[in-house]
Amino acid sequence: MTEPIIRIDRLEKSFGALNVLDGLSFDVMPGEKLALIGPSGSGKTTILRILMTLETISGGHIEVCGEQLFHMQRGGREVPADEAHLHHMRRHIGMVFQHFNLFPHKSVLDNITLAPILTKGEPRAKAEARAMELLEMVGLADKAQAMPSQLSGGQKQRVAIARALALQPRIMLFDEVTSALDPELVEEVLLVMKRLAAETDMTMLLVTHEMGFAHEFADRVLFFDKGRVVEQGPPDTIFRQPTHERTQAFLRKIIAAGHRV
Amino acid sequence: MAEWSGYLTLILLGALVTVQLTVMGSALALVVAFLAGLGRIARWWPLRWLATAYIEFFRGTSIFVQLFWVYFVLPFAGVTLSPLAAGVMALGLNVGAYGAEVVRGAILSVPKDQREATVALNLTPYQRMRHVILPQALPLMLPTFGNNAIELLKATAVVSLISLTDMTFQAQVVRAQTGSTLVPFLTILALYFLMALAISSGVRALERRLTAGLDGVR
């Protein structure tokens, strides 16, 4: 029996008086592809941001690759993690953002090689060779020397995926990666992600409004509402026979808005 | 006419001192601006407090008074500076206080997205600043830095009050000896203007170089 790669245990997160996550618990198994769906404000993006340590937590515990993410042991006591511990934990995790967040002052190639060179001390030649392989994979080898401002949104997002992959994380987080794209550019990004899911054993967590893609991509779908997992299961069950009334209402709204499920 | 060329030489010697003060003062101001600007956004509160105290003090008091303190009062505390060193220090610390706010503002104006990407790529706080935040903040600082350098150039005139023979001081000498106000002061007016022009065109050239490739981003 393998151990979960992520264990979320009674997680609390509040922004001021607003409770975004309310005793959230779930596990993720190594290699699992998870889709997180739900109405906006349900906390699904927040959980990704917390896993990337972009947000702190208000209570509860998260274990990643067998170690506490936000806590560490000091003198036999559990204390909040310091920057060194977070740095140590972040190497397991990569993230792709809704707005790509490429570095505008660096070429495509430099965007990808920056972190491997700085954080892993990789020689430039090795980092560049790997970056070219990744660009090949996302179909942008000819754009290595381009600046981000010269790329379309879909190309930017594919570069951002390559950049996150360059650090070879065990867990990848995708935060609404197609939401900021023009409709005709969505497909090229989804294709890259499908290939990635098929060809690697990376654990992937995906927050998305593309229900058709979630259906195809995920091993398990979690429906979020008001900071909790209301319902979860295989995509066929969640999308075809949701049992919870709030899941049904959400999916009805999505279908009414013209989305394919 | 021959004596005028002697007076002109005097003024040009003063111009050299003015240039020296401007260059050295700007260098000090730049260093101090970065130290205090980064101090203002440090996570450790004593550093933040120290930087704020420095900025408020040097912005809030006159450069004239600061110069007199550095040159005439510090010796009582055992620190005696040459007029040039005192001038550079007063000018650098004064303008550096303004520069610190420019550094802070430019760093904070780099979108939050960029910082989040550096966290996701597991860069250390130093690497985030050095490789991602500062390179994007620098082009934003430059125009105001240019203004500050010109302000500093013009402020160098006050050092004549501590017996430094800068351009303004020499113009006063020429005026006293010839009785003419028009010629020496017209000369230094033109010289100050040319120096300021040199600074602003230099900064613009630097700006063009730093923002090459960034077009269409902001």
Q: Which domain holds residue B137?
A: 18-165
Distance (Å, rounded) from C-alpha A217 to C-alpha A231? Answer: 18
Q: C-alpha distances in angstroms, B158 versus A102, B167, B182?
A: 48, 10, 20
Average pLDDT, chain B: 91
**pLDDT at residue B115, rounded to an integer:** 96
Pairing assessment for the beta strands A220-225 and A33-37 based on DSSP bridges = parallel
CA-based radius of gyration for chain B: 21
Distance (Å, rounded) from C-alpha A215 to C-alpha A37? Answer: 11
pLDDT tens sequence across B135-165: 999 999 999 999 999 999 999 998 888 888 9
Cβ proximity of B99 and B152 under 8 Å: no
Please judge whether B123 and A101 are an interchain contact, meaning their C-beta atoms are less than 8 angstroms apart.
no
Minimum-distance CB partner of A103 among B127, B132, B215: B132
Count CB neighbours of B13 within 10 A.
14
Cα angle for residues A8, A9, A12 (degrees, 5° grid): 95
Cβ proximity of A117 and A124 under 8 Å: yes
Q: How close, in Å, is residue A116 to chain B by CA atoms?
A: 9
**pLDDT at residue A1, rounded to an integer:** 63
CATH 2.30.110.10 fits A1-92+171-261, yes or no: no
**Percent of chain B predicted with pLDDT > 90:** 81
Average pLDDT of the segment spanning B189-214: 89
**pLDDT at residue B161, rounded to an integer:** 85
Cβ proximity of B148 and B102 under 8 Å: yes
pLDDT tens sequence across A72-92: 988 889 999 999 999 999 999
Q: C-alpha distances in angstroms, A174 versus A146, A188, B99?
A: 24, 15, 40
Distance (Å, rounded) from C-alpha A237 to C-alpha A243? Answer: 9
Confidence bin at B1 (pLDDT 50/70/90)? low
**Residues in contact with B63: Cβ distance below 8 Å, sequence separation at least 6, in sequence order:** B90, B91, B94, B155, B158
Residue type at position A60: G
Q: Specify if B204 maps to a domain.
A: no
Cβ proximity of B187 and B15 under 8 Å: no
**pLDDT at residue B217, rounded to an integer:** 44
Please judge whether A118 and B123 are an interchain contact, meaning their C-beta atoms are less than 8 angstroms apart.
yes
pLDDT tens sequence across A2-50: 899 999 999 999 988 888 998 999 999 999 999 999 998 888 999 999 9
What does pTM read for this prediction?
0.86
Residues of chain B with a CB closer than 8 angstroms to some CB in chain A: 113-114, 116-117, 119-125, 127, 131-132, 135-136, 213-217
**pLDDT at residue B216, rounded to an integer:** 44
**pLDDT at residue B214, rounded to an integer:** 62
Minimum-distance CB partner of A114 among B120, B125, B131: B131
Structural tokens at position A58? 């208000």
Q: How close, in Å, is residue B44 to chain A by CA atoms?
A: 14
Whether B215 has a pLDDT exceeding 60, the answer reads no
A contacts of B216 (beta carbons < 8 Å): 149
B contacts of A94 (beta carbons < 8 Å): 120-121
Cβ proximity of B146 and B29 under 8 Å: no
Q: How close, in Å, is residue A103 to chain B by CA atoms?
A: 7
Residues of chain A with a CB closer than 8 angstroms to some CB in chain B: 52-54, 83, 87, 90-91, 93-95, 97, 99, 101-105, 114-115, 118-119, 147-149, 163-164, 167
**pLDDT at residue A130, rounded to an integer:** 96
A contacts of B122 (beta carbons < 8 Å): 87, 90-91, 115, 119, 167
Please judge whether B120 and A94 are an interchain contact, meaning their C-beta atoms are less than 8 angstroms apart.
yes
Q: Specify if B13 maps to a domain.
A: no
**pLDDT at residue B159, rounded to an integer:** 87
Count contacts between A and B (CB, < 8 Å): 69
Minimum-distance CB partner of A103 among B114, B120, B125: B114
pLDDT tens sequence across B77-106: 988 889 999 999 999 999 999 999 999 999
pLDDT tens sequence across B105-136: 999 999 999 999 999 999 999 999 999 999 99
User: What stretches in chain A show pLDDT beneath 70?
Assistant: 1, 258-261
**Residues in contact with B54: Cβ distance below 8 Å, sequence separation at least 6, in sequence order:** B36, B97, B100
> Angle formed by the axes of helices B2-40 and B167-178, to 10°?
150
Sign of CA dihedral B11, B13, B14, B15: positive
- Three-class HEC string of chain A: CCCCCEEEEEEEEEECCEEEEEEEEEEECCCCEEEEECCCCCCHHHHHHHHCCCCCCCEEEEEECCEECCEEEECCEEEECCHHHHHHHHCCEEEECCCCCCCCCCCHHHHHHHHHHHHHCCCHHHHHHHHHHHHHHCCCHHHCCCCHHHCCHHHHHHHHHHHHHCCCCCEEEEECCCCCCCHHHHHHHHHHHHHHHHHCCCEEEEECCCHHHHHHHCCEEEEEECCEEEEEECHHHHHHCCCCHHHHHHHHHHHHCCCCC
Q: How far out from the chain centre does Cα B160 lie? A: 18
Distance (Å, rounded) from C-alpha B148 to C-alpha B95? Answer: 7
Q: Specify if B170 maps to a domain.
A: no
Distance (Å, rounded) from C-alpha A23 to C-alpha B203? Answer: 55
Q: Specify if B196 maps to a domain.
A: no
Whether B2 has a pLDDT exceeding 70, the answer reads no
Whether B213 has a pLDDT exceeding 70, the answer reads no
A contacts of B215 (beta carbons < 8 Å): 149
Structural tokens at position B66? 């600061």
Domain count, chain B: 1
Report ipTM (2 d.p.).
Answer: 0.92
Minimum-distance CB partner of B116 among A54, A105, A147: A54
Please judge whether A104 and B122 are an interchain contact, meaning their C-beta atoms are less than 8 angstroms apart.
no
A contacts of B124 (beta carbons < 8 Å): 87, 118-119
Q: Specify if B97 maps to a domain.
A: yes
Minimum-distance CB partner of B116 among A101, A104, A105: A101
Q: Specify if B115 maps to a domain.
A: yes
Domain(s) of CATH 3.40.50.300: residues in chain A: 1-92+171-261
Substitution target from A85, A118, A174, A205 for chain B, most B beta carbons within 10 A: A118
Average pLDDT, chain A: 92
pLDDT tens sequence across B4-15: 888 899 999 999
Residue type at position A111: N
Distance (Å, rounded) from C-alpha B52 to C-alpha B48? Answer: 6
Q: Specify if B96 maps to a domain.
A: yes
**pLDDT at residue A184, rounded to an integer:** 86
**pLDDT at residue A260, rounded to an integer:** 59
Structural tokens at position B129? 């600043």
Q: Give the residue among B196, B189, B188 at the shortest CA–CA distance from B13.
A: B188
